[in-house]
Amino acid sequence: MPVESLRVASRLENLIRRGLAEEDPNAEHGLKLAIQDYPFANDGLILWDAIREWVSDYVNRYYPHTSTIEDDKELQAWWTEVRTVGHGDKKDEPWWPP
């Protein structure tokens, strides 16, 4: 599934890396928050799930194989622009995607 490879750069991974959450396959969203009574984060996880599901379905429909994504020159140009122009201030950070 091509979309799953994007998880490394996701905000969920960021929460885990910063110690604000941990993976929990038994939790409703697959993630256990370090602060249980945090409505903003709880609501955010609901939105995250809805967006992730829609994007996953869309990408998997139009890009069924990783090679399809890699071969899409327009998509690759857009992603390069996002990383290097739209967020040019972040492009040299060690955690920023290559």
Give the tens place of pLDDT for each residue, 58-87. 999 999 998 999 999 999 999 888 888 888
Residue 93 lies in a domain: no
Residue 54 lies in a domain: yes
Residue 77 lies in a domain: yes
Q: Confirm whether pTM is higher than 0.75.
A: no
| Range with lowest mean pLDDT among 6-15, 39-48, 85-94 | 6-15
Residues 6+ apart with CB under 8 A from 65: 2
Residue 72 lies in a domain: yes
Residue 97 lies in a domain: no
The answer to whether 34 and 22 have CB atoms below 8 angstroms apart is yes
Mean pLDDT estimate for the chain = 81
- What is the total count of domains within the chain? 1
What is the domain range of residue 34?
2-86
Residue 78 lies in a domain: yes
The percentage of residues in the chain with a pLDDT greater than 70, rounded to a whole number, is: 89
Residue 91 lies in a domain: no
